[in-house]
Structures are given as C-alpha cells and as structure tokens.
Amino acid sequence: MPNGANRQTVIDALLTLLANQPLERIDLADIAKAAGVSLADLRGEFSSVVAILAAHMKDIDRKVLAADISDMGEEPPREKLFDILMRRLDAHAAHKAAIRSLMRSTLRNPPLALVMNGLAARSMAWMMSAAGISAAGPRGVLRAQALTLMYVRVLSVWAHDDDPGLARTMAALDRELARGERWSGMLDTMLAIPERLQAGRWRARRRRDPDSKSDDEIVAA
C-alpha cells in the first residue's frame, strides 16, 4: 500500500464487510483480503479496525466541511447546524447498512460504544465550529457531547427512514436541535454561576482590601 494509495479501498472493504456482519466478527485479515492488500501493507496504514472507522469518520468530516454554506451566512447557528447535519447524513447514505450494523454492535459492546462516542464527539465539535458555535473549552466539550447524543438519536431514525425526502429524519433532527438549544441555554446559565460567584468574591475582597489584585492582574504582572 505505497504512500497510502489504497487507503480508501481498505475503508470501503471494512464498510462492505460491516454491512453483512457485525464488527466483532471482522478480523484484520478479512479486511486485508477484501481490500486486496497484504496484512503488512494494511498495518503500515492502520493500527486497528477502529482506526479504519476513525479514518472514515474523518473523511466524512472533510466532505461536510468542504461544502459551501456561504449562502447561509445570515442564518442563525441552529439553522446552519441543521443543514450541516443533514449534509452529513447524506454523506453517510451509501453506507446505511454498515451504520445500522455498527449501531447494533455498540449496543452490545459498551467499550466499543465509548470509543465510538469519543470519535463522534470529535466530529461534532467540527460540525459545531462550521455552524458558528464555539467548541472551545469545557463548555464546548459539553456541547459536543450533548450534540453527539442528539445526533445518535437522529441517526437511529435515519437508519430506518426509507422515504427519499427523509421527512421523519428531518423532523427528528429539528426536535433534537430545539431540545439542544434549550439545554445549551441551561448549560450557559449553570456555567455562569461559578463566574458570578467568583466575581462576587472578588468584589467583596476589593471592598475589604482596595489594593488587592485579581487573578488576571496577578497573571499579567
């Protein structure tokens, strides 16, 4: 597999196998055989089956992020995120059977579910950034995790939505984003409480000692 030339072939081979059997039955040798490469070449490109799945998810990220959404410049973040996540589902369309199989495997395998959750949360952070929603800091991490859980619920609807117009999927996504918007508002409120308490303590300290410095002032000094 010189210079990763057959990288996509390996990813496609895994997805094809996954559409017909659970992940826990797929061996690295099976993937190499289906892709027409040696185990040595496969090892040179990927460290594990999960690494191949991670590479596929990264490819989906890049495909969605490359889409032009400049015509949505004035739209609110929720509308942008709706469009971005629908584009992501469209990018998954060719591998719906594989995704159904993977979802079944995660339900049976908690360690796999944790790994896939981490990969999905990383992807959701990119989707948020594309929609103009900050993914920075602890607040961003919590938002990405919440969006991951919401997206998985939508994905379970999409996986069995045979309507070409995906009406059920779009309705589910709209509901989840509305719920997420409310949750994000509560999160902002909860995270603002420690900041207000810290500010209150600082004001009280200044009243007691007018010459005291804030933490920011100490760092700057």
Give me the pLDDT at residue 203, please.
58
Q: CB–CB of 105/53 below 8 Å? A: no
- Could you tell me the pLDDT band of residue 76, with boundaries at 50, 70 and 90? confident
* Residue corresponding to tokens 């995660």: 106
Question: What would the pLDDT profile of 64-75 be if each residue is shown by its tens digit?
Answer: 999 887 777 778
Contacts with 2 (C-beta within 8 Å, 6 or more apart), sequence order:
none
CA geometry: angle 106, 87, 72, nearest 5 deg: 140
Measure the CA–CA gap between 154 and 61, rounded to whole angstroms: 17
Question: What would the pLDDT profile of 5-31 be if each residue is shown by its tens digit?
Answer: 589 999 999 999 999 999 999 999 999
Q: CB–CB of 64/127 below 8 Å? A: yes
CA geometry: angle 88, 92, 96, nearest 5 deg: 145
- What is the extent of the structural domain holding 107? 70-221
Residue 7 lies in a domain: no
* Residue corresponding to tokens 């369309």: 93
Residue 58 lies in a domain: no
Contacts with 97 (C-beta within 8 Å, 6 or more apart), sequence order:
18, 19, 20
Residue 27 lies in a domain: no
What is the pLDDT averaged over residues 196-220?
A: 54
Residue 185 lies in a domain: yes
Residue 45 lies in a domain: no
Residue 102 lies in a domain: yes
Residue 125 lies in a domain: yes
Number of domains into which the chain is organized? 1
Question: What would the pLDDT profile of 126-138 be if each residue is shown by its tens digit?
Answer: 999 999 999 999 8
Residue 219 lies in a domain: yes
